[in-house]
Structure 1
C-alpha cells in the first residue's frame, strides 16, 4: 500500500466520526417516526429521514468499496415510477432498510473503536510505525463489517436470484400462453375462415363444371384470389412469431424494415453483435416494435431513433423520440409488457421522459454470443 493510500484511509477514518454521530441521530429519528407513523404523524418525517438514511449508508458503501477494492452495490428494491407514499411503503417493507437501521445503531461505537485507533496511531512520536503497518488492516476490517451489514451475502443473493427466476418464469409462461391464444385467434378468424370458404367455392365449382363451365371458371378464379389471401394471412401469423427478415438479415435490418412502416421518420444507428441467441434477438425485436408503436400512437413526435450498441456480454438498445414526453411505464400495459418480455432474459428497461421530451427508453439485455449466423445473405452456400 502506498503512503497516499494510507492517508486516504486515515481520511476515511476521520470522516466516519462525525458521520457516526449523524447515524445515531438518524436512528433515533427513524425509530420515533416509525412509531408515530401508526397515527400518520410520522409519515412526513419518514419521507425525509429514510432517504437521508440511505444517503448516509451509501457514503459508507462507497468508503467500503474504495478500501476493499470491490463494489458494494445498494441492494434495494426499486421504487421507480412510484408515488411518495407507495415509495415509502416499498422502502419500509424492504429487508435492507431494516439492516440499514441496525447498522445505524452500531455505527457510533464502531467508529469510536476503529477510527479513533487509526487517528491515535497517526501520532508520529510514539506510534507512527504502528500507523504505517496498522491503518490498512484496521480499515479493511471495518469495511468488511460495513459490507456485511450493507450488502447481501452469497446466500441472500442466491435466494433473490431464485425468487427473480421464479417470477420471470411465471411471467414468461403467461406471455407464452397469451401468444398462443393470439395465434389461435388469428388463425381462426383469418386463415381458417378463408380456407373454409375456399373449400366451399371449389365444391360449388366442381358441381357447375359440367353444366356451367363459365360459372365454374369464375368460381375457380375467385378461389385463386382466396388462396392468395390465405397465404397473406399465414405470412402475417408467421411474421408475428418470428419475422423472416430477422432470421435472414439480423436485428438491425429487421428494425429498419419495421421503421419503414411507421408514420414517424425513424433513424437506426449502431448494430447488434453477430451471433445473438435467437430468443434474445426475437424478444428485442418485438420490444422495439412495441416502443415504436407507442411513439406513433402517443408521442406526437416529429422524429424517432433507435440506437444499437453491444458492450461486452450485453445488448443495449435506446429507443427515443422528440415528442411531448411524460411517458409513465406504470400507467399502461404496453410498457409493462415490454419489461416482462425482457425480464425473461434478465433484461431491464429504464424510461426517461420529462414533460416536453425527449423520451428515451433504454433496453439492456445480457447475452452470451453464440456462433455467427450462417445464411445465404452472409455469403455462405
Structure 2
C-alpha cells in the first residue's frame, strides 16, 4: 500500500509539474498582457475572458486537491458573478464587467498563486517524481552506462556522488535506491504540501468568507420563505382534498343515519359502519399529514430514533448508526430528518439500491450525516434533481452537502450542519 501510494503520488506530482507549469506560465502571461492592454481599450474585451479561464484553471486545481489529497479549498468567487458583458450589455457593459473583475481581490490572489505555482509549486511537484527517477537511473549507471557517458565528456555527477570508476557507480546505485525508498514515503506528503500552498492563495480571505456567507444566507432566506409558502399550499391542498372531504362525507352519512334510524335501522347501521371507516381513513390521513410536518417521534425521542423509525418504513434494508450525546435545536433536527428522508427516498426510487447505510454523529460543533447506497450512482446536484433544493434548504442553517456518486456507484451524500447539542435527559 505504501509503495502504491508513493508511486501514485509521484505520477500525480509529475502531472502537476508539467501541465501545471505550462498552464500557470501561459495564463499568467496572457492575463497580464491583457490587463496591460486595458489602457488601449482592447483589454476591456480580452481581460474578462482570460480571468474566466484563470478561474476555471484554479477550480480544476481545487478539485484535484480534494480528489488526490483530501485538501478542501473553498472558492472565493461570488455565486452569481457579474457577467463578462456587464449587466447592461454592449461596450459600456463590457467595461463594467471588466472593472468589476479587476476590483475583485480574488483576481489578484489568483495571479499571485500562478507566480507561486510556477516556482515553489513546481519544485514541490517535481521533487517527488525525481526521487523515483533517481531510483531507476542510479542502478542503470552501475550496469556500465556511466563509463561511456563520462568518457564522452558527459555529466560526471549523480547528485553528490562523483562518477570516476565502478565503485563510485555502485555507490550511485545505492544512493539512487535510497532516494526511491525515500520518495515512496515522502511523495504523498510533498503532494499535500503543494496543495496546502495552493490553498493559502486560492481560499477566500476572512472578509470574503463573511461576504459570501451573507450572500448565501440572503439567498437561502428567500428560498426558505418560498419553501414555507409552498409547504403551506401543500398542507392546504392535502386538507382540502383529503381529510376535509372525508369529514364532509362522514357528516352526510350521519345525516342520512339520523333520517333512517327509525324507518330502516339495518340501512342506518350500514351507514354508521361506513362513516366509522371513513373517519378512520380521515384520521390516518391527518396523522400522515402531521408526520409530514413534524413527526411525533422526532419531537418525543429525538433525531436518532426518528431516523431509525424512518429506516424501518423503507422498502429496502437500511443500517443506521447514530452517535449523538444530546439533542440539537428543533429546527436543525427537523431539517436533518427531512434531509435523511429525501435521501433515502432517492436511494429507493432512483438509485436502484439494494442496501443503504446511514451514519449520524456530532463532532467539533457540526452535525454530520452520511447516507451511502450501493446503487447505480450518477447522482448530480446540477442535473436539476431534488438535491439542489435540499442543498438550498440546508443553506438556511449554514449547512453544506457533498455528493460522491461515480457512475456504477456507490453513492455517498454527506450533510453537515453547524450546531450545538443540548445534554440529553
TM-score with structure 1 setting the length? 0.66
Q: What is the aligned partner in structure 2 of residue 11 from structure 1?
A: none
Name which of 160, 163, 188 aligns with 2:215. Answer: 163
Q: C-alpha distance in 2, partners of 1:194/1:149?
A: 60
Q: Residue in 1 aligned with 2:205?
A: 152
**Aligned pair 1:177/2:186, yes or no?**
no
RMSD: 4.1
Residues 1:209 and 2:209 are matched in the alignment:
no
SS in structure 1 opposite 2:358? strand
1:28 alignment counterpart: 29
Matched residue of 1:310: which SS? strand
Alignment of 1:212-231 (within 5 A): 212-231=264-283
Equivalence map 1:1-381=2 (5 Å): 26-32=27-33, 47=53, 51=57, 74-77=74-77, 95-100=104-109, 103=112, 151-154=204-207, 156-372=208-424
Q: How far apart are 1:210 and its partner, in Å? A: 2.1
The structural deviation recorded for 1:104 is: 6.5
SS at match of 2:377: coil
Cα deviations by residue, 1:254-294 (Å, 9 ceiling, x for unpaired): 11221122222111113234121111111111101100111
Per-residue deviation at 1:160? 2.9
Alpha-carbon shift at residue 36 of structure 1 (Å): 9.1
Q: d(CA) in 2 for partners of 1:264 and 1:152?
A: 45
- Answer yes or no: is the 8 Å Cα contact 2:58–2:202 preserved in 1: no
Structure 2 CA distance for aligned equivalents of residues 254 and 93 of structure 1: 48
2:24 & 2:384 partners in 1: Cα distance? Answer: 40
- Measure, in 1, the Cα distance between the counterparts of 2:78 and 2:45: 24
Change (3 A) 1:153 1:350: closer
| TM-aligned CA distance change 1:340 to 1:148, over 3 Å | closer
TM-score calculated relative to the size of structure 2: 0.59
Q: How far off its partner does 1:147 sit?
A: 7.7
* Larger Cα-atom Rg: 2
Mapped partners of 1:168, 1:99: distance in 2: 29
